[in-house]
Amino acid sequence: MRLDKLIASNGAFSRRQAADAIRRGRVAVNGEPAVKPDAAVTPGADRITVDGEPFLYSPNVYYMLNKPAGYVSSTEGRDTVIALLGEDGKRPGLFPCGRLDIDTVGLLLITDDGPLSHLLLSPRRHVEKEYFFTCSPALTDEGIKMIENGVDLGDFTAKPARIAPSRDRLSGTVAVTEGKYHQVKRMLSRAGSEVTTLKRVRFGPLSLDPDLAPGEYRPLTEDEISALRRAADKEGIKP
């Protein structure tokens, strides 16, 4: 495998940035400085460091995106979340793990790891998705209890959710383990209030990075990837 392709494999570098880092002497292979981006290396056998730190090869990439409003959680068409990744978005096989409505903002995981995504979204894993919402009119005691106990939405009954309303009950957070179409909006509507803004702030163990402005993204850290894998393995079935 080409060295520059390997260095770009985990999403921290683009292919061009990886080649530049190699030429600048920032990369070493088996303790020797590398200078040729097209040098052949063997993942798992050759010991590779970048800026003196061990480089961990992954065949997949994982990005945290702070999705802005106006973008669709799709891989095709105009104004897709993949387009926000620029050159990194050209990697084959990338897709959003789950969906956010066009007007819903916040944390979106983008990856090319299909098996892990499938497990994270599986109802069996009960992986929570937490949202911050604003609403009108204010939630009532009855509406809050309805959400906590499970809401009959007609086509399905939403499972009990954890809700933490603000003091004036015009905002709060709600955590669900399902991901049905417009679920949070429909739950609050059934409880007597309408969502005015909605932002995903957490997906399982992954919390939205406060340093990411709307439209910005970054690769996940190794710790974050490991935490997602543990969340997917709750039922004892490894991805």
Q: Which residues participate in catalysis according to the annotation?
A: 101
Burial (CB count within 10 angstroms: exposed 0-12, middle 13-18, buried 19+), residue 87:
exposed
Pick from 150, 201, 149: nearest CA to 171: 201
Calpha distance 238→45 (Å, rounded)? 24
**First and final C-alpha spacing in the chain:** 25
Burial (CB count within 10 angstroms: exposed 0-12, middle 13-18, buried 19+), residue 73:
buried
